[in-house]
A and B are shown apart, each in its own frame.
Chain A
Amino acid sequence: MKQERENKIDVVIGIDVGSVTAKTVILDQRKQIVGYSVVEEGLVNEESAIASMRQALEKAGLSQENVKFVVTTGYGRNLLHFHDKSFSEISCHAKGGHFLVPAVRTIIDIGGQDSKVISLNGGGKVETFQMNDKCAAGTGRFLEVMSRALKLSFSEMGELGAQSRHPSHVSSMCTVFAESEIISLAAQGISESDIIAGLYESIARRTLSLMGMIQARSKVMMTGGVAKNKQLVKILEAVIKMEIVVPPEPQIVGALGAALMAHQAMGEEA
């Protein structure tokens, strides 16, 4: 059966080589997702991207022989020696988000190294976008540093954050300063749950400021690994005063967009 599938199916691949994880999505000719993977990277590197692709192919029961077109995106998009085309994360998240929910007009993507907000028109084309500045403020990296300081996993942080009754005020958006700020909040006896909720609020305020720059409209979708944190999404919804749609696997939306770009490019070449 597996052999039969390998022989018949032509697929395209999108790989999102991010700063923390490499994600791969495989699409068949009818734009159906036939496989995907998310691989932890450490530092951005080609090996992780290849491992992600192999894992996705294996899950789908396919081999590289089946792959007709590869599009890369993410910070390491130009690392892969075998890609056919590359696009920025902005275009790929827009493409992937619009494919999943055509009514989406704003995408918030909070990834490992940066956060971005993208405004889409009715056809799913990017109208404008904004990204965070050079520092890691308001990104997955920011949460990673804070989770280390609190000695908690992401899921533990999410659970504790949900129990907060009086979120503390974390004023600094600088990752380094915020880390020392939460240490002093803990020293003042503030509960972990209130500190975590305060951190989430600081990310939400940061996102709100990016959204103001593009005059974001509903419907809003959130993508990226941070979107898996339900408590953060809830706080973000309250701060931006808009409902947020989170796709079932928010981390792969960029890779899905890249795969859709590959599908489109293959069609154009044919």
Chain B
Amino acid sequence: MGKANRLKCLADLGKEINEFYMRYKRAGEEGKTTCRIMGYPLPHVILRAHDVHYMFLPSYAATSAARGVVGRLHQVAEEKGLLREVCSYVRANVGCAFSAEAGIAGADHMYSMPKPDFIIVTESSCSMTFNWGDAERRIYNVPLFVVHCPYVWDEADEKDAVAEVTRQLREFISFLQDITHRRFDWDKYKRTMALAKETAGLRMATMDEACQAIPSPATLFDWTSLLAIINYLIGLPEGRDVALRVREEVIQKMERKEGAVVPEKYRLYWDGIMIWPFLGKLAQKCAALNANVIWSRYSTFSFWECPEMIDLENPLEGNAIQVVRLHFNRSIDWLIENITHFCQRYRIDGLLFHANLTCRTMAGPQLEIMDAVSRKLGIPAVYFEGDMTDETLISESQMDTRLQALIETIEARKGK
């Protein structure tokens, strides 16, 4: 039976995240400008450069789920009439909005967050994001700003999409100046973008090197923890420092040929959003089967995945391209081609497709992708339903069976 040997330097990230939410709460109490972001982590650097405290709602839901406190938030949202079929990230945040009214505010430090001064939606191929922003606008009765990213069918569309998102970001900066009655400091924005570029660049380079190594010194479960440097710490020296520490540990482990799963016998690809409430458990289950989940389009094709395209002389455009290149925003052909390419590059043995029951944007094209990639590479794939945060939609025993069956199929194919 294999053992997990995950990156040790990420163990303290939880403290940084706690501090992030404490700062957000204090900012609200002190009357500083705060906002909520739905969609993609696009405006984080702009907001940081303008000293606006933000709460990124998908991360809020994921963190609450990973800490085991999301169930009560879902309950509160459902008591308010939200259907269980609605995106479980939305339900977690609506639950948060009504946590004081439900009398649970003091039960956990994640349960009650200050009212925002405005809301920003960065919408790309997920219509729910816009509905969600609109719902939060009505709950808090504050202004809403929407950045819409056009769908990118192929490379030819990309230039226009970047120009369009850049134009909307300029409008957003005007909106920001109006709401805060302060001028936007472009020099500070450039400096913050420089840090963001460095941090995101370190993340992407380290992931790529680690994913190529056999055994791989890290696992997808490390990479998902590392998303905190984008969602919570981007544009801060602390975020860059975490990325540097991760790089150092990864290189040391590679030199020692030390894997994240000991021994590493099978290398897997994961498709779909993570199952946040089962993250630790899932990491253990995979390790016990000697399987390392090496990579995912969720961690590699999202979250500032093309920092090399940021021109610091034109930072707004570099900011815009991060959402334009998001995998949600791409055709199935693009996804098949790129997932196949990286599965070959990282020598993947099998594919795990997690269909998020309450995120049909993610789940929609999965069967087609699974079929095509599996056939192109001649490797087995398994598909199972679950959810990113709603534990009631997850069946652990069914997950176990599929995981074991996938490993047995890989083994059987090797022996044919």
Contacts and interface: CB of A to CB of B under 8 A. Distances in A.
Identify which of B382, B385, B412 gathers the most chain A CB atoms within 10 Å of its CB: B412
Given A88-B405, A134-B393, A125 B385 contact: no
B401 A126 contact: no
Contacts of A45: none
A231 B85 CA distance: 36
A133 interface: yes
A192 interface: no
Contacts of A89: 401, 405
B210 interface: no
B380 interface: yes
Contact of A90 (B393, B405, B416): B405
B416 to A, nearest CB: 5
B380 A127 contact: yes
A50 B408 CA distance: 26
A154 interface: no
Contacts of B380: 126-128
Contacts of A149: none
A114 B398 contact: yes
A128 B405 CA distance: 10
Interface string A72-107: 000100000000000111110000000000000000
A130 B381 CA distance: 9
Interface in B363-416: 367, 371, 374, 380-386, 393-395, 397-398, 401-402, 404-405, 408-409, 412-413, 415-416
A89 B271 CA distance: 24
B416 A123 contact: yes
Nearest to B402: A131
Contact of B408 (A75, A87, A213): A87
Contact of A134 (B367, B395, B405): B395
Interface in A131-148: 131, 133-134
Contacts of B371: 213
Identify which of B355, B401, B402 gathers the most chain A CB atoms within 10 Å of its CB: B401
A139 to B, nearest CB: 12
Contact of A91 (B397, B398, B412, B416): B412
Contacts of A114: 398
A133 B393 CA distance: 10
B380 to A, nearest CB: 6
Contacts of A75: 397, 401
A176 to B, nearest CB: 14
Nearest to A129: B405
Contacts of A128: 374, 380-381, 409
B410 to A, nearest CB: 10
A66 B75 CA distance: 54
A29 interface: no
Q: How large is the interface on A (under 10, 10 to 19, 20 to 34, 35 or more residues)?
A: 10 to 19
B415 A131 contact: no
Nearest to B403: A88
A121 interface: yes
A91 B380 CA distance: 13
B382 A129 contact: yes
A126 B397 contact: no
B412 A125 contact: yes
Given A75-B401, A88-B401, A114-B398, A129 B409 contact: yes
A117 B398 CA distance: 15
Given A114-B398, A128-B409, A133 B385 contact: yes
A125 B416 CA distance: 7
Contacts of B415: 125
A125 B414 CA distance: 10
A91 B407 CA distance: 10
A130 B405 contact: no
Nearest to B374: A128
A131 B412 CA distance: 19
A62 B371 CA distance: 47
A133 B383 CA distance: 9
A126 B409 contact: yes
A215 to B, nearest CB: 8
Contacts of B355: 133
Nearest to B397: A75
B398 A125 contact: no
Nearest to A215: B371
A126 B383 contact: no
15 contacts: A75-B401, A88-B401, A88-B405, A90-B401, A90-B405, A91-B405, A125-B413, A126-B405, A126-B409, A127-B409, A127-B413, A128-B409, A131-B384, A131-B401, A134-B385
Interface of A: 75, 87-91, 114, 121, 123, 125-131, 133-134, 213
Given A75-B401, A131-B402, 16 more contacts: A87-B408, A89-B401, A90-B401, A91-B405, A114-B398, A121-B416, A123-B416, A125-B413, A126-B405, A128-B409, A129-B382, A129-B405, A131-B384, A134-B394, A134-B395, A213-B371
